A = this chain, B = another copy of it.
Amino acid sequence: MTSLYQHGTLAMLMGKQLQGTITAAELLKHGDTGMGTLTGLNGEVIILEGQVYQAQSDGRVNHITDLDTLLPFASIHFYKPTQTLPFDQVDFETLSDKLKSAQLQNIFSSIKFHADFSRMHIRIAPQQVPPFPSLLEVATNQPEFEVADISGTLMGYYAPEIFNGPTAAGWHLHFLSDDKSFSGHVLDFSAINVTGTLQVFDEFVQHFPIENAGFRGMSLDLDGLHAGIEASEGGKK
């Protein structure tokens, strides 16, 4: 079976720990497909076939080739699908329902599919500078973009409810267009001509930046944390 590797936690971002603590090179030892963000919440990262792309908050997309680039939070896995997706059309509202027979609610899983999107609505976190705010503060003012009729690849993770805190429960999806000009954190979408796969994980590996003093000393307000995750990351369950 296969592992999902996560560096850092969403709780850390809520606790203002936005400095990068893993290099892209180190991260890529744990997979070829994934997502994350850069130091200071600088954009939305999507990793496909071992290539790292960053959507910047001005809407531009960078292909990151400097593998010393640091990330404070990222999830990655080796693409080894469990099954092909059992639908041809889907939108964010119906995604969980269409995967009901796969019984994903208590496990970690990933979807990756290519499609023609009649609608793709994304948001891109804007870069912050020290002293860093929390993810929640950033979430109140994030550029959003929406386009019609775009082809591309959507990849994302499902996390069980009890892991809300380490990560965001429910679906967390990122998108990259075929021409690599449009990318971000998916808020909503509608897709046809879907071809892709589902991968279920039997292991969730949570890696902590234990050498980082800010992380070690961080205080957390748990109620605030859960409200903040809902406000900033809350995807469809």
Contact = CB atoms under 8 A, between A and B. Distances in A.
Contact of A222 (B162, B202, B204, B216): B162
Copies of this chain, count: 2
Contacts of A220: 106, 161-162
Nearest to A212: B106
A161 B210 contact: no
Interface in A128-187: 161-163, 165-166
Interface string A58-96: 000000000000000000000000000000000000000
A161 B219 CA distance: 11
Interface string A98-141: 00000100111000000000000000000000000000000000
A9 B210 CA distance: 23
A103 B204 CA distance: 24
Interface string A3-28: 10000010110000000000000000
A217 B166 contact: no
Contacts of A9: 162
Interface residues of A, number: 32
A205 B209 CA distance: 15
Residue in A3, A107, A210, A222 whose Cβ sees the most chain B Cβ within 10 Å: A210
Nearest to A169: B222
Contacts of A201: 208, 210
Interface of A: 1, 3, 9, 11-12, 103, 106-108, 161-163, 165-166, 200-210, 215-218, 220, 222, 225
The 8 closest A-B pairs by CB, nearest first: A162-B165, A103-B216, A204-B206, A202-B210, A11-B162, A205-B205, A203-B207, A107-B208
